[in-house]
Amino acid sequence: MVNTCWDCKYYTIKMKILVPHNRTIKEYVHRTGDFQSDIVAIVKEKQGQYTIWFRAEGTIKLLTFKLLHTCDVKHEKTKKETACPVYVSKPEVTRISNIIYSKTTPEA
């Protein structure tokens, strides 16, 4: 999807927290439960994958996540389409609607 989806009323953002193989999901749910912390830095690692350094509980913590972009009307654009035919502008800010925790595979 192109960046115009960010402002579309049918657009949904989900955050997939990547939990290291040697950690528990419960630990990460507790660790990342308050995203009203101070974000120190956001670093793009790969396509759609980011690392955040944030202040929480008096320390700086590291978190890796992926943003999952979905269209609620299940519309998939073809490469030939230049504009989405179902796009409807949404005046309010798009927020993360769901947080998913998932184990990462061990790095080789």
Of the candidates 13, 14, 40, 29, the residue with the CA atom closest to the CA atom of residue 101: 29
Residue range 57-105, pLDDT digits in tens: 788 888 888 888 788 887 776 777 677 888 888 887 767 778 888 988 6
Residue range 23-56, pLDDT digits in tens: 899 988 887 766 666 788 889 888 888 988 888 7
pTM attached to this predicted model: 0.67
Domain residue ranges in the chain: 3-76
How far is CA 65 from each of CA 5, 13, 75, 80, rounded to the nearest angstrom?
20, 12, 25, 31
For the CA atoms of 23, 33, 68, 101, what is the dihedral angle to 10 degrees? 30
